[in-house]
Every structure is written in C-alpha cells, then in structure tokens.
Amino acid sequence: MNEAVVRRTQESLGRVIRKPPLTDRLLSKPPFRYLHDVITEVRDNAELCLKCMCWCLRCESSGFTNHQG
C-alpha cells in the first residue's frame, strides 16, 4: 500500500480511535479481525457522538442551556 495513504489513514482515524493501533504493518496488509475492530471502534465512537449531540439539542430546545440565574 502507498505510504501516503497509510499516513493519511493514521492521521484521520487516529483522531477518532485509540484501539486497535494504526501501525504501518497492520494498515498495509490488514487481517480481517483488525478491519472488524477498526470499523467497530469507529461505529461506536460515532454512535456516542450522535447520542451526545441529541442530548445537547434536547437541552437547548427545553431552554435548559439558556437558564439565567
């Protein structure tokens, strides 16, 4: 695999996931289980972000964040 692609993958996914490690060797020729773990971790992080965004939007719509005391 192209070194530039590996670096871009490490930079972009590295912001989202911590496990599994994004090593050059694993990204160059990934085993199936590694791909599964990466995809699962990205999905779980995206799901968590969506839940947080929904909670924030509910707070804003209920006026909770605009509380003046």
**pLDDT per residue rounded down to tens, the chain (69 residues):** 688 989 999 998 898 888 999 999 999 999 999 999 999 998 888 887 787 778 787 777 776 655 554
Find the length of the chain.
Answer: 69
**Could you name the CATH architecture of 3-60?**
Orthogonal Bundle (1.10)
Cβ–Cβ < 8 Å for 27, 6 = yes
What global pTM score does this model have? 0.66
**Span between the terminal Cα atoms of the chain, in Å:** 58
pLDDT score, position 35: 92
pLDDT score, position 10: 92
pLDDT score, position 69: 46
CA 36 to mean position of chain CA atoms:
14
